[in-house]
Amino acid sequence: MNNQTKQPRLLTAVVLPWVLPVLIIIGWQITASLELISASVLPSPTDVVSQAVTLTKSGELQKNMSISLFRATSGLLIGGLMGFAFGVFNGVSNYARLFFNSSIQMVRNIPHLALIPLIIIWMGIGEDAKIALVAIGVLFPIYINTFHGIRSVDQKLIEMGHSYGLSKWQMFTKIIFPGALPSILMGLRYALGVMWTTLIVS
């Protein structure tokens, strides 16, 4: 008896996930067309598309998107590099872990969006404040996953590296970093979500 779940056909697997979103958009359009909900509360999909086309033709949409993209990528690079550096440093050095990790863990429990009033006081409401808020938001997910990934590398692989006489740099590039990479990428994926959420709030 085959206990495996029957897999859907390829066409079904491609089409089925789109059914509910399409139905929601159709219902949204019908509701707006019948004026069951005010356009000021929920404009129709066609109005949204029309406005998007208008803003694209005027260049305003591209301008605003480029500004938002600059803030997001700048914050991601700054916070991500800091989180990665601290994660690697604390992951490979027990002394660094003992010195830094407890303090970082305490600070990361503070929701970064709760720091908005302090950021405004310190840096105003300009670009620097928005980039700083994004950087703080992405720093901790990347740090935690980098640190965890490095500390979780199989010790047998590290012992094997020592037995082959690998240098510290070779040990990191050939064993530790590849072993930690899945966890690091998971942290990056989570950080991307935090980045966009923080960008909207900022």
Nearest Cα residue to 129 out of 65, 71, 43: 71
| Residue 9, pLDDT above cutoff 80 | no
| Residue 6, pLDDT above cutoff 70 | no
Token pair, residue 48, equals 């949204």
Q: In 7-36, which positions are buried (b, 16+ CB within 10 angstroms) versus exposed (e)?
A: eeeeeeeeeeeeeeeeeeeeebeeebeeee
15 and 108 fall within a common domain: no
86 and 47 fall within a common domain: no
Band (pLDDT 50/70/90 cuts) for residue 86 is very high
66 and 120 fall within a common domain: yes
Is residue 26 assigned to a domain?
A: yes
116 and 76 fall within a common domain: yes
35 and 95 fall within a common domain: no
CB within 8 Å of 174: residues ≥ 6 apart: 161, 166
Token pair, residue 131, equals 């980039």
Is residue 189 assigned to a domain?
A: yes
35 and 82 fall within a common domain: no
Q: Is this model's pTM higher than 0.85 or not?
A: no
CATH number at residue 85: 1.10.3720.10
Is residue 190 assigned to a domain?
A: yes
CB within 8 Å of 116: residues ≥ 6 apart: 133, 201, 202
| Residue 77, pLDDT above cutoff 90 | yes
Band (pLDDT 50/70/90 cuts) for residue 1 is very low
47 and 70 fall within a common domain: no
Read off the pLDDT of residues 37-56 as tens digits, 9 standing for 90 and up. Answer: 777 778 888 888 888 888 88
144 and 90 fall within a common domain: yes
83 and 17 fall within a common domain: no
Token pair, residue 189, equals 């994926």
Task: Give me the domain span that covers residue 46.
Answer: 8-58
**Alpha-carbon Rg for the chain in angstroms:** 24
**Measured distance between the N- and C-terminal CA atoms of the chain, rounded to whole angstroms:** 56
| Residue 4, pLDDT above cutoff 60 | no
| Count of domains observed in the chain | 2
What share of the chain has pLDDT > 70, as a percent? 96
Read off the pLDDT of residues 111-170 as tens digits, 9 standing for 90 and up. Answer: 887 878 888 888 888 888 888 899 999 999 999 999 999 988 888 888 888 888 878 888
Q: How far is CA 136 from CA 104, 132, 142, 169, 178, in A?
A: 12, 6, 11, 29, 26
Is residue 1 assigned to a domain?
A: no
Token pair, residue 45, equals 């999909």
Largest Cα span, the chain: 75
Is residue 197 assigned to a domain?
A: yes
Is residue 2 assigned to a domain?
A: no
